[in-house]
Structure 1
Amino acid sequence: MVTADGATWPGSHVVGADGARSTVRKRTGASLEGSAAEGFHVVVDVADEPGGTPSLERVMHYAHPGADGRGVLVVPYANGFQVDVQSRAGDDPDVIASRREVRRWLPALIGPTPSERITAISVYRFLQLIADDFTDPHRRVLLVGEAAHLFPPFGARGMNSGFADARAAADAIATGRRSPAANADAVAAFATARRAAAEVNSAAAGAALRHLRPTGAVARLRRRTAGLLAPVVPRFGEWLEHAPYGPRTVMSGTGN
């Protein structure tokens, strides 16, 4: 039984799909565990030019000259692409992510871009957070999507894994409704499997972060050296390219 805003709905289970600030998660007593990196990223969604050639490949610029050496990741999706710009120390998100400022610096990264093709501008911080439990002690509440985990948007890991969470939750609930005696095990298995998938995605995000924002002098030197040698030693370019930023081509499917 769920009561909200004076209304009551009967039901056997609750699926918490209410986002990063999930009230459902808080009511179960679960908490998010993990880390948040320093700095922020500005993401600009750009629609493909009407009648133009769509963007087909993901491209990572480790020190884009048009962005004063900031990292720039361009990720294609259906009918458009995202431009993800890494902040530097001293950047103010309220300034660099303003529409006026974006219109100023975006052409240096992707060429002339009419304002109407900019469909969204957002700021995110690099989060690797996972709920300590994806269900409640009574095995009647199941957390999915950003109620259960928060990742950066590389490879659409949060969205794609949210789809898989929802499918697994539906399967567990169906089992529990068919056989109430099997409910606790089915929901517990959902929570274990989906939390394990979230840990895989979090690890991939962490690997991407180490490429994007190397914290030690040795790591920074390794990345810089790889960039300098990549034109003559292909394996260095392969190492940079194979960082887990998501697939190179337009994404499909639901993954983990």
Structure 2
Amino acid sequence: MTPERFSRITDMLNHRQPDLTLCLDKVHKSNNVSAIVRTADAVGIHQIHAVMPDRGMQVSGNTASGSQQWVQTVKHRNITQAIEHLKLKNMQIIVTNFSDKAVDFREVDYCQPSAIFLGCERDGVSAEAIALADKQITIPMIGMVQSLNVSVAAGAILYEAQRQRQLADMYGINKLPEAYCQKLLFEQGHPIYAKACRRKGLPYPKIDELGQIKANREWWALMRKPADDPGNIS
């Protein structure tokens, strides 16, 4: 791994916000999902959630521009399961909804642990999510059409959350588990060796403070054995 790539990945990890997330409530159009994932990566979202009871969520590589490699997706069978999971993480549940209870999305404190729910393209956020929400938000509009594409709405809300968190100096400190960071650094910094580890059944080695592989002689010996070596474990 080059020093430049190590620095870039490390900087990305230092800006991830594990206590800020999105939950897609049956958003099914792959181009919208991909655009949301791309924006999530851009503002430092570590993980998004998706309620997909009928079929698997697909992310278009072209629209996501590779961001799906950096943002985890957790799938849930139903909205209750998703909200219970997020409340266990002490997140406030925020839903986008047109109602008398909804406030301007800029009035919410996103520096608190927050899960923002976005609804499907046709029906919006489900009634179940609205009933279980802590807050309802809306994006003010003064045009003839009173709705935004879900990926555009996600972008507006996430950049407001980013603005608030930057003002509160919440970026720049790594808040992610060390095991996750080590795994990502190895897989994304040394992809050929990572593939070989999976093929040979070898454990991932540690990555040192310079981004290089830190492994003992036995590990290197097993890694270097050719595929046709009878002693090879692959």
Q: Is TM > 0.5 for Structure 1 vs Structure 2?
A: no
TM-score, normalised via structure 1 length: 0.23
Higher strand share: 1
TM-score, normalised via structure 2 length: 0.24
